Amino acid sequence: MNIFHKVALQGLKKNRTQTIVTIIGVILSAAMITAVITFGLSLLHYMINGSVQRYGDWHIAFLDVDSSFVQERSFDEEAAGTVTFENIGYAPFDGGNNQDKPYLFIAGFYEETFETLPITLLSGRLPENSKEILMTGKAALNGSVSYGTGDPITLTVGQKERTYTVVGICQTPVFEQDSSPAYTAITRADSAEAADNFSLFVKMKYPRRVHAYAEAAADGHSYILNNSVLCLMGISDDPADHVFLAFLYSFAAIVIAIIMTGSVFLIYNSFAISLNERTRQIGILSSVGATERQLRNSVLFEGLCIGAVGIPMGILAGLCSIGLVIAVVARRFGDILYSDVPFTLYVSVPAMAGAAVVSIVTILISAYIPAKKAAGAPVMECIRQTNEVKVEARAVKTSGLALRIFGMEGVLALKNFKRNRKRYRSVVLSLVLSIVLFISTSALVTELRQSLERLTVVTDYDIGFGTQDMDDSQMLRLYDKLKHTDGVYKSSYQALMKGTCAVRADRRIKR
């Protein structure tokens, strides 16, 4: 430790009150930066967990492969885990009203398949053997026969007839494509039958390599990506999938920029006051040969010492405070997004390191500005301390109107401001930035609250009717008839636009 560092430490010990005030400013700055980063990451982690629960814990799926392909992929070093189900086959869907889906596709699940691929039951239970079957709600609604728990159903799969007992109704599974000609029905895989056609779902060790893995491992097989999960990781190659991430990152960047700017002025004022009190000392050191660089580094070392104390305390305070906030708002987010996924504090070591770096940069910027100015000031001005405070009568003159409006106390305060205009301006700017930050945060909270109200509003209608098989003229005639029915006192009609498009055939299918 050189003499300049020792002088800086002595200055910190001598001006303890000022040092404590500066450390408190650093703690507040680091706490706010940590809180913003941690809240953003916790929200993103919550969204990813909710998406995994809804769409499954997998990243890429191959929907038509043989047993040898399944075995090869299970030994891939990049695969964290694989699950499969048997493609038992297609059967004509007798009574189906949707011409685009004239078949039922029967999938034979294993125990681990149910754990990885989410199945949301609408009624009944999961199948327990290969003689029981789970129908989807769409298949039941589009058929001329409604399937209920306990109903038998006979299907012709290839050359075989299979009889199942319906044990439940579920939502459409995530792997069923909109372009598929069949509704999905789920049963248990029969261990007694040898199957050689599977659907394979792979979870990657390093999800960011999923595109390269797909190109290398597909070997001519078509595949789909779990874009609902990948987009929240920033991996999806569809720009439309990055809207939420773009909003989250942009908002965090703007808030952090405001916090940094306000913190720079706050900490700058503390260093400026400290340097004003040490101006004579700086002048004496300059007079005995200290260079501008040495003096500037001495002040920066002082800033690093303050940061070494304030930043860890600020990060800890930020984690504790945002943890309390998340505990309070967690139920609200459950009402908006995923009620079965806990919204908890997510702490990332790289993120905390990033918050520390941002705080250090803030401190160095705050210390560098007054340090450069003090180190470049003439020696005699520093020793006489005439470079900051204006004492000429002309410089601190006030009007009689100020005396009448604010009184003697206000005039004295105004004269004090005029004696050091730069410090006065930096204080005002700090207050302005604080108000901007408060209003911005309040606006975001208000917008989130309004979004919650819009999402949780319960419609007050008693009967709803919708169809895709009726043209607008027929629908309007039916609506006109229904709205004049006895007992109907309020009604509304909404038409959805329909269209078609042509796409180029490709072996890669996006869900």
Average of per-residue pLDDT across 306-312: 89
Name the residue among 50, 141, 53, 31 with its Cα closest to residue 97: 141
pLDDT at residue 392 greater than cutoff 70? no
Element (H, E) at 85: strand 79-92
Gap between the Cα atoms of 428 and 266, Å rounded: 10
pLDDT band at 152 (very low <50, low <70, confident <90, very high): confident
**Pairing mode, if any, of strands 103-109 and 79-92?**
antiparallel
Residue that has been written with the tokens 């408060």 in this structure: 438
Q: What is the mean pLDDT of residues 425-437?
A: 72
Structure tokens at 281: 């000392």
Which whole number is the average pLDDT over 55-77?
Answer: 88
**Token pair 């050359």: residue:** 159
Q: Say how far residue 427 (Cα) sits from the centre of its chain.
A: 34
pLDDT over threshold 50, residue 507: no
As a whole number, mean pLDDT of residues 118-142 equals 84
- Residue 144 reports pLDDT greater than 80: no
- Asked if the model's pLDDT at residue 383 lies above 60, the reply is no
**Pair type for strands 132-136 and 160-170:** parallel
Q: Are strands 60-65 and 224-225 parallel, antiparallel or unpaired?
A: antiparallel
Nearest to 310 by CA among 29, 52, 55: 29
| Residue 111: both structure tokens together | 């125990």
What mean pLDDT comes out for the span 276-291? 66
- Maximum average pLDDT range among 211-215, 291-295, 410-414, 418-422: 211-215
Cα separation, 349 vs 420, whole angstroms: 43
Q: Which of 392, 343, 379 is CA-nearest to residue 40?
A: 343
User: Which pLDDT score is estimated for 201?
Assistant: 92
pLDDT for the residue 187: 92
Q: What are φ and ψ of residue 148, in 5° steps?
A: -125, 170
Measured distance CA(367)–CA(303) in Å, rounded: 6
Residue 202 has a pLDDT of 92
Of 231, 323, 266, residue with least CA distance to 47: 231
Residue 367's CB is within 10 A of a number of other CB atoms, namely 28
* Pairing of β 121-124 and β 160-170: antiparallel
Per mean pLDDT, which range of 181-195, 206-220, 291-305, 351-365 is the poorest?
291-305
Average pLDDT, the chain: 78
- Most confident stretch, 225-229, 317-321, 425-429, 478-482: 317-321
With 90 as the cut, is the pLDDT of residue 316 above it?
yes
Contact 344, 326 (CB under 8 A): yes
- Which amino acid belongs to residue 186? I
Q: What percent of the chain has pLDDT over 90?
A: 6
76-123 pLDDT, tens per residue?
Answer: 888 888 999 998 888 887 766 667 778 888 999 998 898 888 888 888
Q: Sign of the C-alpha dihedral, residues 254, 260, 263, 265?
A: negative
Domain ranges of the chain: 3-52+243-386, 60-225
pLDDT at 453 over 80: no
Confidence at residue 281, expressed as pLDDT on a 0 to 100 scale: 66
Q: d(Cα 57, Cα 157) in Å, to the nearest integer?
A: 30
- pTM metric for this prediction: 0.70
Residue 196: what pLDDT? 82
- For the ranges 59-68, 96-105, 189-198, 237-246, the maximum mean pLDDT occurs at 59-68
Q: What are the tokens at 360? A: 């250090």
Task: Lowest mean pLDDT of 80-84, 230-234, 369-373, name the range.
Answer: 369-373
Helices (H) and strands (E) in the chain, counts: 15, 10
Q: Which range in 92-96, 270-274, 422-426 is most confidently predicted, on average pLDDT?
A: 92-96
Residues 6+ apart with CB under 8 A from 465: 482
Instruction: Identify the H or E element spanning 370.
Output: helix 349-375
Reported as a pLDDT band with limits 50, 70 and 90, residue 510 is very low
**CA nearest 173: which of 201, 148, 214, 153?**
201
Mean pLDDT of 161-177: 86
Q: Write out the two tokens for 124.
A: 């009944």
Tell me the backbone φ, ψ of residue 100, rounded to 5 degrees: -80, -15
DSSP 168-229: EEEPPPTT--TT-SEEEEEEE--TTS----EEEEEEESSGGGHHHHHHHH-TT--BEE-HHH
User: CB of 198 within 8 A of CB of 209?
Assistant: no
At position 484, the amino acid (one-letter code) is H
User: How large is the angle between the packed helices 292-336 and 279-287, nearest 10 degrees?
Assistant: 140
**Residue 508 pLDDT > 50, yes or no?**
no
List all residues 6 or more positions away from 175 whose beta carbon is below 8 Å from its beta carbon.
61, 63, 117, 184, 199, 201, 224, 511
Distances (CA, A) of 172 to 123, 141, 263: 13, 12, 52
R_g over Cα of the chain: 34
**Per-residue pLDDT at 511:** 40
As a whole number of angstroms, the distance between CA 158 and CA 155 comes to: 9
Identify the CA nearest to 508 among candidates 239, 223, 304, 255. 223
d(CA 131, CA 117): 21
- Distance of alpha carbon 12 from alpha carbon 507, whole angstroms: 68
Phi, psi of 99 (to 5 degrees): -65, -20
For residue 98, count CB atoms less than 10 angstroms from its CB and return exposed for 0-12, middle for 13-18, buried for 19 or more.
middle
